[in-house]
Amino acid sequence: MRILVTGHAGFIGFHTARALLREGHEVHGLDSVNDYYDVNLKHRRLAQLQDQPGFSETHASLEDHESLLALFERFRPEVVIHLAAQAGVRYSVENPRAYLGANMVGSFNMLEACRFFPVKHLLLASTSSAYGANEKFPFEETDHAVHPITLYAASKGAMELMAHSYAHLFGTPTTAFRFFTVYGPWGRPDMAYFLFTRAILEGRPIALFNHGESWRDFTFIDDLVGSIRRLVDCVPPAADAREGMSAIPGDSLSPVAPYRLVNIGAGQPEKVTTLVDALEKALGVPAKRELKPRPPGDVVKTFANTDLLQALTGQRPSTPLDAGIPKFVEWYRGHYN
């Protein structure tokens, strides 16, 4: 397949592009390689892709809609996996404007490009943050998710809604994933597991927000990429093409459009202190824990229902923290010497 992966210099995009290239697909990456975090890390990821057969790339911003259309005209993707975004929950409280460009204008441009150059399947990265202040656990795709508590969450929710309207109007088959706290080798330096690792090794204290009483559904990168890959083949059917198909219980398939939401998470919330225990064990160094209040925009708990993912793909993420964290630590030690 000819697959466009946006955000391929980023954590998840890099792993996704690499896995698709290994399968022999033709992959084009689109990324602005911005400096939200260490650009060297992004360039080192890119270097791993650049010598692979079947790989090509464009360094441009999603907001540049003319470049995006020109790229579609040249590459004619059959599948688009749209992962590029301004990520980060906490940063969105300090700098909300950053989220409008990439996540709203950029995603809109992607929808327009898929309207003029139709694709077999558009897959979009949304987030568990879309569940916002919901307190019904586990989070199910059919739950109302209308109370985002950060602009990051609101921008991703807006992307989901825009994509639904395009799926309805122009028939673009669309799957929006909601990812739950993804971690692993080549990870994102602004995320807790990465910040904690650095601080523990440098002997600095780590901040445990909400006094350590927070839970996250930690998802190992290889599991996530496996789920993305399998979902590429699960194209949501158009509303008028469903006759004779048996309905999946709990399916989020839209009644009026080829559009579906799918959680990708471990389905196993862990206390953040369990993450710290796993890091201490893998690093062989004790952490200096500092208990802090919950910052604005942070949710207490995330917890994915993964029944739909299992029904669609036959699998769900299963790597526990004490197997995934040592892999991250091994990469970190090798990478940063």
Ligand X SMILES: NC(=O)c1ccc[n+]([C@@H]2O[C@H](COP(=O)([O-])OP(=O)(O)OC[C@H]3O[C@@H](n4cnc5c(N)ncnc54)[C@H](O)[C@@H]3O)[C@@H](O)[C@H]2O)c1
Q: Which residues bind ligand X (CB under 6 A)?
A: 7, 9-13, 31-34, 36, 42, 61-63, 83-87, 101-102, 106, 125, 127, 179, 181-182, 188
Smallest gap, in angstroms, from Cβ of residue 9 to ligand X?
A: 4
| Identity of the residue, 288 or 336, whose beta carbon is nearer to ligand X in the bound complex | 336
Any bridge partners for residue 205, and if so which?
Answer: 288
Q: What is the 8-class DSSP label of residue 132?
A: T
- Which tokens go with 260? 């579906």
CA atoms lying within 13 Å on the CB side of residue 178: 29
Smallest gap, in angstroms, from Cβ of residue 228 to ligand X?
A: 10
Q: Minimal CA–CA distance to 151: which of 193, 74, 95?
A: 95
Task: Report the C-alpha gap between 44 and 10 in whole angstroms.
Answer: 11
**Burial of 26 per CB tally in 10 Å (0-12, 13-18, 19+):** middle
Amino acid at residue number 225: V
| Identity of the residue, 107 or 313, whose beta carbon is nearer to ligand X in the bound complex | 107
- Which tokens go with 306? 């993964």
| Identity of the residue, 127 or 252, whose beta carbon is nearer to ligand X in the bound complex | 127
99 flagged as catalytic: no
| Identity of the residue, 102 or 253, whose beta carbon is nearer to ligand X in the bound complex | 102
Task: Report the C-alpha gap between 158 and 174 in whole angstroms.
Answer: 15
| Identity of the residue, 19 or 239, whose beta carbon is nearer to ligand X in the bound complex | 19
What are the backbone dihedrals phi and psi of residue 113, each rounded to the nearest 5 degrees, phi first? -60, -40
Task: Report the C-alpha gap between 335 and 285 in whole angstroms.
Answer: 18
Beta carbons of 85 and 103 less than 8 angstroms apart: yes
Smallest gap, in angstroms, from Cβ of residue 256 to ligand X?
A: 25
- The closest residue (CB) to ligand X is 10
Smallest gap, in angstroms, from Cβ of residue 84 to ligand X?
A: 4
Beta carbons of 173 and 235 less than 8 angstroms apart: yes
Q: Minimal CA–CA distance to 176: which of 185, 186, 164, 194?
A: 164
Beta carbons of 274 and 186 less than 8 angstroms apart: no
Strand ranges inside 33-153, DSSP E: 55-59, 79-82, 121-127
| Identity of the residue, 3 or 83, whose beta carbon is nearer to ligand X in the bound complex | 83
Q: What is the 8-class DSSP label of residue 121?
A: E
Smallest gap, in angstroms, from Cβ of residue 61 to ligand X?
A: 4
Smallest gap, in angstroms, from Cβ of residue 247 to ligand X?
A: 28
Smallest gap, in angstroms, from Cβ of residue 92 to ligand X?
A: 10
| Identity of the residue, 36 or 196, whose beta carbon is nearer to ligand X in the bound complex | 36
Which of 131, 152, 166, 259 is catalytic? The answer is: 152
The catalytic site residues sit at: 152
